[in-house]
Amino acid sequence: MRGSPLEARVVLHRSRTFRIEVDLYIEPGATVALLGPNGAGKSSVVSAIAGLLPIDEGAVRLGGRVLDDPSSAVFVPPESRRIGVVFQDYLLFSHLSVVDNIAFGPRSRGTPRTRADSAARTWVERLGLAGLESRRPGDLSGGQAQRVALARALVTEPDALLLDEPLAALDVTTRAEMRQALGDHLAGFDGPRLLITHDPVEAFLLADDVYVMEGGLITQAGSPEEIRLRPRTPYAADLAGANLVVGEARDGVVSVDTHAIHVADHQISGRVLLTISPTAIAIHRHRPEGSPRNSWSTRIRRMEPLGDRVRLQVSDPLPLAVEVTRDAADALELHTGVDVWVAVKATEIGVERDG
């Protein structure tokens, strides 16, 4: 069944004023991110697909199996859906060891203890948890607990995988490290994968497609590049607005292909991820005075109105999204194809190790 897609039309009447209506389709071997703020209804969608929350309308299908369809009175309980779930707070059993936490799923389904423990130890090795087998959750770091939760979801050999804010409980440093590790583990799972997150960096780096969710509805869906460069709502522009750039850092300079970017952190080195807000980038018709270190000439490739703002996409040597006010765009006489200069302060550039 892992070679089967996950199809879900989830309609939930949460209150008189709040309704969730989401359509998802996830190919096997693909990761879809459901990206949105707290309160958008993302976790309710996870609960509905996992079988923890019956849907009011629609249907959930995994391959040829109907898991939930109110119109035909079909409801498959969670333990029979063959869906692995990793929750935001992991929900590990505090009184059980790492091995016992991981083996809980197989044991609860009737697998003999010896075989369940053997499967759990296999995942301990796969996820780099060797030496922690006897520890309890209270003795684990955030990253270790996250891997135990992932192992517990995968040990049951699920047909689909749901991850509800799997990195949200980690500190910034651990989150960057675990993001790459999570990406590697997801790549090794050949079923459909749904990632719930409010962090655009996670969505853009881990997902094949992104669904933006606002107020219970999907307001935009597409590849990470499409969402980043062509947001359809002001919220999507703010949420997914950060430019993400990968390069090699040394002595405060990050090399991105043949281009060099100066950053404020002179201690960080190696492969790094830069985040640059589109509103932090200044745009000029001529070379800016004072010749700031991070300034270069480029060309406007696309312009799109976005409420009282205009979103630009500039081309080589570093394709970036830039946002200016409509008044600024008019005053500078900006249009597609015009040559411009862009500048960004080193202090406005976020930098973290990429793994």
Averages of pLDDT over runs of 10 residues in the chain (355 residues) are 86 92 96 92 95 96 94 94 86 92 89 93 88 92 86 90 84 73 83 92 90 93 83 70 82 92 91 86 90 89 85 90 92 94 92 74
| Distance separating alpha carbons of residues 45 and 242, to the nearest angstrom | 26
- Name 352's bridge partners: 273
| Distance separating alpha carbons of residues 31 and 186, to the nearest angstrom | 8
Beta strands in 154-294 (DSSP E): 160-164, 193-197, 209-214, 217-222, 243-250, 253-256, 259-262, 270-276, 282-284
Name 17's Cβ contacts closer than 8 Å, sequence gap at least 6.
Answer: none
**CB-based contact 213:40 (threshold 8 Å):** yes
The pLDDT, as a whole number, for residue 217 is 95
- Give Rg (Cα) of the chain: 23
**CB-based contact 141:129 (threshold 8 Å):** no
The pLDDT, as a whole number, for residue 273 is 80
The pLDDT, as a whole number, for residue 167 is 82
| Distance separating alpha carbons of residues 101 and 116, to the nearest angstrom | 11
Write down the pTM of the prediction. Answer: 0.70
Name 253's Cβ contacts closer than 8 Å, sequence gap at least 6.
Answer: 260, 261, 262, 263
Supply the DSSP string of 33-61, one letter for each residue. EEE--TTSSHHHHHHHHHTSS--SEEEEE
**CB-based contact 191:198 (threshold 8 Å):** no
Structure tokens at 55: 């849907």
Torsion over CA of 182, 25, 321 and 307, rounded to 10 degrees?
A: -130
Distance of CA 122 to the CA centre of its chain: 27
| Distance separating alpha carbons of residues 187 and 339, to the nearest angstrom | 41
The pLDDT, as a whole number, for residue 337 is 94
- Name 350's bridge partners: 275
The pLDDT, as a whole number, for residue 355 is 56
| Distance separating alpha carbons of residues 69 and 10, to the nearest angstrom | 10
Buried b (16+ CB within 10 A) or exposed e, 223-262: ebeebbbbbbeebbbbbbbbbbbebebeebebeeeeeebb
CB neighbourhood size of 267 (10 A): 7
The pLDDT, as a whole number, for residue 199 is 85
Residue 31: phi and psi, rounded to 5, are: -110, 125
Buried b (16+ CB within 10 A) or exposed e, 187-208: eebebbbbbbbbbbbbbbbbbe
Start-end of H helices in 217-306: 224-229, 234-239
The pLDDT, as a whole number, for residue 28 is 95
**CB-based contact 322:355 (threshold 8 Å):** no
